[in-house]
Structure 1
Amino acid sequence: MFVEAIEAILQDRFTPAAIRAIEAGGDPGPAWNALAEAGFLELLAGEDAGGAGLTLPDLFPVLITIGRHAVPAPLAQSIAARALLARTGVQAPAGMITLAQSCRREADGALVCAQTQFGTIADYVLAGTPNGLLLLDCSAAERIGTGVHGSQCATLRWPAGLAAEPLPGATSVDVQAWGASLHAALIAGAAARVGEMTLQYCQDRSQFGKAIGKYQAIQHQLAVMTEHIAAATVAAEMAFAGAGDQPKQLSAAIAKARSSEAAQIIAATAHGLHGAIGITEEYDLQLLTRRLHEWRAVHGSEAGWTVTVGDAFLRSGASVVEFAREVGQAEAAA
C-alpha cells in the first residue's frame, strides 16, 4: 500500500525534467511538501505518534522505490533521521533532514560535516558522535559543493563558537549503520531501474538487421549485470531484516560493501551497452548512474566496509557459508 502511494507521488513530482531542474538549483519545496503532507516522513513513527508504524522489512521496498526514482531530496535520510531523533525525545523539526557521514572539530573550533549527501539543499543535518546526536541547522553553515555536475553533496562548515550539545539516545554507530543500510537500498533501487533501461535499449536497438540483445556477447553482459543487481538487492534487504527501527552494523556493513561493489559494475555495463547515447546529458540514464557512483562512496565504500566484515568473519572462526548463515539468522531473530 505504501509503495503504491509513494510511487504515485514520485512519478508525478520527480519527473526527469523536475530532477534536472532541482539539481540545477531549482526549488524542491513543492515536491517535498507533497511528501510531508502525505505522511511519508513519519513511516517509522508509531501510530500513537501520528506515524505509520512500519518495521524495517516494511520500509525496505519504500527505499527501493525512492532509489528507482533518483529522488533529488533527502527523503530516505529524513525518514531515518526522524526515527533516530525519536529516541532522544526531541521533536524533529519541519524540513529536510539529512545524515552526516562524519563530523569533526577543526583546529580553529569550526564544526565540519564533510561530503554530506544533499548538503546543498538540506535544512538540517543529523550527525552522530560517541556521546549522542547533533542536530545542526544548515542555515548557519557554509556550504561547499563538490563541483560535480548535478551533485547535491556538499561539505558543511559551522564557524567556531557554535553551541552543540549531543542528544543522548543514539550514537555515531547508529547513524553509521543507518547511512550504510539506506544507501545500500537506494543503490539497489537505482540499479534495478538502470537494468530495466539497459535491457529495453538492447531490445530496441538494431545492428546488422537484428536487436543487439540477440547477440551472445551482449546477453553475457546483461546476465552479469543482472547478477550484480540481484546480489545488491539481497544484501540490502538483509540490512532491513530485523525488528525495531535500527539496522545492525554487521548486516549494514555487508549490505553497503556488496551494493557499492555492484554499483560501479552496473553503471559501467549500462553505459557500455548504451554506447554514445548513454553518456549524453539529455538521456535519463545518467540521472541514475551518477547517483550510483555518489551513493557508492558515501557512508563508506566497499573498501571500508569489507574490513568490518572481514574482521567479524575472522573473529567468528566459522566458514564463509556458516558465517553468512549466522548473520542472516541473527537478523531474522532480532
Structure 2
Amino acid sequence: MFTEAIEKILTDLCTPALVRAVESGGDAARVWRALEDGGFLELLTPEEADGAGLSLAALFPICLAFGRHALPVPAAQSIAARALLRDCPHVPPAGMLTLAGTAYRQADGVFCAPRVAFGLLADVALVNLDGDMLLLDCSVARRQPVGVNASQCATLYWPAQAVGAAVGKNGEAVRRFSAAIHAASMAGAMERVLDMTLEYCNDRVQFGKAIGKFQAVQHQLSVMAEQVAASRIAAQLAFAGDAQVPQLIAAAIAKARTSMAVPQVTATAHALFGAIGVTEELDLQLFTRRLHEWRISEGSEHYWNGIVGQVFLALPDACASEFARASSHIA
C-alpha cells in the first residue's frame, strides 16, 4: 500500500525536469512536502508513536523506488534517521535529515563528515563518530561540493564549538543504514537504466531492424540484466530479517555487490546508446551519474569487501560456502 502511494507521488512529481531543476539550485519543497505531509517519513516509526511501524523488508521496495526515480531529496535517509532517534531523548528535528556513516575530528578540532549524501540540501545530519551518534545542524557547517557536475553530495565541516554531546551510542547503525540505503538506491537506479536501454534498443533501427535484434547487442543486454538482478537480490538481503537495523555483513555484501555492478551496467548502457548517451539532455545521465557517486559514497566495493573478508577470516573452521549461506544471520 505504501509503496504504491509513494510510486504515484514520485511518478507525478519527481519528473526528470524536477530533478534537473533541483540540481540547478531549484526548490525541492514540493516533492518533500508531499512525502512529509503523507507521513511517509515515519514509515519505520512504531505505530504507538504515530508511525507506520513497517519492517525493514517492507521498506526495501520504497528505497528501490527512490533510486528508480532519482529522487533529489534525502527521504530514505530521513526515514532511517527518525527510526534511529526513536530511543533518544531528542525529538527528531523538522526538515531534511541525512546520514553520515563516517566522520572524524581533524587536528585543528574541526569536525569532518566526508561525502555526505544530499549534504548540499540537508538541514540536519545524523553522524557516526567512532560509535557515537551525533545530531548536527548543517546550517552551521561549511559545505564543500564534491566537484561532480550537479551533484548534491558534499563534505561537511563543523567548527568544534558546534559539535555537542552524543545523542546515542549506536553510531555504527548509522553506517549500516547508510550503506543499505545506498545499495537499494543503486539497485533501483540500475533497474531504470536497464529499462531505458532496452526501450532504446527496441526503438533504434539500424540496417533495417531494431538494434536489439542483433546478437552482439542481446549478449550485452543479457549480461547487463544479470548484473541488475544480482544487485537487487544483494540489496534486498540488507533489508531482510526481523532486526530494526541492517546487519553488518548483509549491508556490507549489499553495498559491495551493487557497487561492483555499477561500472559494467553504466558502461554498457552508454555504449548501446552511442553518441547520444553522453549528452546532458538525455535522462540516462541523471541515473548513471548518481550510480557512480553512490558507488563511492559510504565506501566502495573494496572497502565493504574488506569488511566481509575480515569477518570470514575471524570465524574458526568456516568454509566459504557455509559463510555465504549464513551471512544474512551474522551481525
Q: Do the aligned residues in 2 keep the contact of 1:98 with 1:119 (CA within 8 Å)?
A: yes
| Letter in structure 1 aligned against 2:132 | G
Question: Could you say which residue in structure 1 is the equivalent of 2:327?
Answer: 327
Answer yes or no: is 1:209 the counterpart of 2:205.
no
Alignment partners' CA distance in 2, 1:230 and 1:163: 42
Shift of 1:101: 3.2
CA drift at 1:157: 1.2
Note the alpha carbon deviations across 1:50-94, whole angstroms, 9 max, x for none: 110000111001111111001011111111111111132321111
The 5 Å alignment of 1:1-334 reads 1-171=1-171, 173-316=172-315, 317-328=317-328, 330=329
Cα distance in 1 for residues equivalent to 2:255 and 2:319: 21
Residues 101 and 298, structure 1, Cα contact 8 Å, conserved in 2: no
Q: Deviations over 1:27-69 (max 9, x none)?
A: 1112211110001100000111111000011100111111100
**CA contact 2:140–2:162 (8 Å) conserved in 1:** no
**Distance in structure 2 (CA, Å) of the matches to 1:31 and 1:56:** 23
More deviation, 186-195/144-153: 144-153
SS of the aligned residue for 2:112 comes to: strand
* Structure 1 stretch displaced more, 85-94 or 217-226: 85-94
Q: Matched residues in 1 for 2:275 and 2:214: separation?
A: 19
C-alpha distance in 1, partners of 2:241/2:139? 36
Q: 1:45 to 1:203 in 2, by over 3 A?
A: same
- Give secondary structure in 1 for the equivalent of 2:102: coil
CA contact (8 A) 2:183 2:254 kept: yes
Does the aligned pair in 1 maintain the 2:141–2:158 contact within 8 Å?
Answer: yes
Structure 1: 5+ residue runs without aligned partners?
Answer: none
TM-score (norm 2): 0.97
- Residues 101 and 127, structure 2, Cα contact 8 Å, conserved in 1: yes
After superposing on structure 2, the runs of 4+ consecutive aligned residues of structure 1 that deviate more than 6 Å are none
| 1:152-185: CA deviation from partner (whole Å, max 9, x where unpaired) | 01111112322410112412x2111111111101
* Alpha-carbon shift at residue 131 of structure 1 (Å): 4.8
Structure 1 position 191, deviation (Å): 0.5
Indicate the SS of the match to 1:233: helix
The size of the alignment, in residue pairs, is 330
Alpha-carbon distance, 1:210 to partner: 0.7
TM-score, normalised by the number of residues in structure 1: 0.96
| C-alpha contact 2:101 2:176 (8 A) present in aligned 1 | no
Q: Matched residues in 2 for 1:249 and 1:69: separation?
A: 27
What secondary structure, in the 3-state scheme, does the structure 1 residue paired with 2:136 have?
Answer: strand
Q: Structure 1 residues 263-272 or 16-25, which shifts more?
A: 263-272
Distance 1:118 1:170 in 2: 22
Alpha-carbon distance in 1 for matches of 2:244, 2:294: 22
Which string of whole-angstrom CA distances, capped at 9 and with x for unpartnered residues, describes residues 193-249 of structure 1? 110110111111011111111111101100000000011110111111111320000
